[in-house]
A and B are shown apart, each in its own frame.
Chain A
Amino acid sequence: MSGAVLELDAVRRVFGTGRGATTALDGVSLSVAAGELVAVMGPSGSGKSTLLTLAGGLDEPTSGRVRVGGADLAALDAEALAGLRCRTVGYVFQDFNLLPTLTAAENVAVPLELDGVGARAGRRQAHEALAGVGLAGLADRFPDALSGGEQQRTAIARACVGPRRLLLADEPTGALDSLAGEQVLAVLRDKADAGLAVVLVTHEARYAAWADRVVFLRDGRAQDQAGPPAGPETLLAGSDVTP
């Protein structure tokens, strides 16, 4: 697909060799465009996390191709890959991974600093990014003074700051209650609507349902996909909507 930010083409990833070899991904193809939120669901061991690490250039496929922003990751040298991870791809994890000794704004500014952005510009961008996830007033708080949901939104701000185009979220709601999880999904949705390509790995259907497409992985294979949602008017057509 042209315009795809992330393309996986017949990707296989086998861990180990010989009889002990485990096939984590077995020929998965997936394309995520700018502005698209794609959810990946599947049971433990289905290859969800392997897919994300490959998409982020943290691991290499045994065969097949991974392209990010049109660049074939196999063709990039270590330095180019590091640059891609720093500027193009953002990660969000289940357990936030914020640095406890830095404020929310300082946490968000870390990748900018690593990328050589000046301190003042970095601070300004960090504040903008926090405002973008609904945390404008909490920029100077330390992580332990933030709720779980606020910490995760800070982590999302950090993962989106700068010129990022691809956001990879691995069970970002796993440690959150329902309301906080919903707010995190609303932020991921916003980021996609604002033009990022977002891949959400989750085993929770109600969060996966925020995506434009849902891909099921089972035993390393993509099973099939739930398409874009139909219009809401079809939902309550029946009369048996009583809770």
Chain B
Amino acid sequence: MAIRNALLALLAEGPKHGYQLKIEFEAAMGGSWPLNIGQVYTTLQRCARDGLIEPTDATGEDVRQRPYRLTEAGREVLHSWLAAPVDRDPPQRDELAVKLLVVLATSAADPAVVIQAQRTATLERLQQLNHFARDTDPAEDFAWLLVVDHLILQADAEVRWLDLCEQRLARAGPEAVAAAARRAAADVAADPGDGGEEDTVAAADGPDRPQPDAGWSR
């Protein structure tokens, strides 16, 4: 949806054809997101089908040369997207979180080693990102700088999370963590609830717990 909505925003400035949209989208993203031209045409066709955009009257023979304009319906979709905060629910499942949690649940590896290996790798990534940020002139490449800032703060948050995990583990002690994992498994075994069904989301959880997407249902 992000691409579609971004293209609608670009079309709100006036009619544009596919290649132009590709160029303008990539420039807006600071070069961080190269678009396949085929992807642009597919998205435009889908938008036209849904009545969000329409070809201009200019009857170019080649579909690819034909500029599209935003319809009233398209404008509404765009405006409601811009007005609404981005919805982060359900939270995306993060591979690192899965790895660490499964290590804690199974003793498949030493959590301290997993944490340290990831922290070192993320720090190296941060070093690279800092190089990018330093080499970027905000006057020339503002969008790119914001992209790099975003990646830096994500990586920073990951390291903080690892630090916190480590501290919590140290405070609880390995025995307590293992015992908690065993208890949790026993609880689920005793009361499987709807856990066997892929699509049930709420299952046995309390209503306050943020729900993962269906593929991750507990």
Residues of chain A whose beta carbon lies under 8 Å from any beta carbon of chain B: 43, 178, 182, 186, 189, 203-206, 208-211, 214, 216, 223-224, 226-232, 234-236, 239, 241-243
Contact = CB atoms under 8 A, between A and B. Distances in A.
Contacts of A224: 116, 120
Contacts of B29: 242
A177 B152 CA distance: 15
Majority secondary structure, B binding face: helix
Nearest to B167: A43
Contacts, number: 75
B22 to A, nearest CB: 15
Interface of B: 29, 32-34, 116, 119-120, 122-135, 147, 150-153, 155-156, 159-160, 163, 166-167
A193 B96 CA distance: 35
B32 A232 contact: no
A103 to B, nearest CB: 30
Contact of B33 (A182, A210, A242): A242
Given A214-B123, A216-B119, A224-B120, A209 B33 contact: no
A211 B126 CA distance: 10
Given A230-B124, A232-B128, A206 B167 contact: no
Nearest to A223: B116
Given A232-B131, A241-B32, A205 B126 contact: yes
Given A205-B123, A210-B127, A241-B32, 8 more contacts: A203-B163, A205-B126, A209-B127, A229-B127, A241-B147, A241-B151, A243-B147, A243-B150
Contact of A235 (B132, B134, B160, B163): B132
Nearest to B128: A235
A231 B159 CA distance: 21
Contact of B129 (A186, A211, A235): A235
Contact of A216 (B33, B116, B134, B167): B116
A211 to B, nearest CB: 8
Contacts of B123: 205, 208-209, 214, 226
A209 B130 contact: yes
Which 4 A-B pairs rank lowest in CB-CB distance, beginning with the nearest?
A209-B126, A229-B127, A205-B159, A206-B156
14 contacts: A205-B123, A205-B126, A205-B155, A206-B130, A206-B155, A209-B126, A216-B119, A226-B127, A227-B124, A229-B128, A229-B131, A235-B129, A236-B32, A239-B34
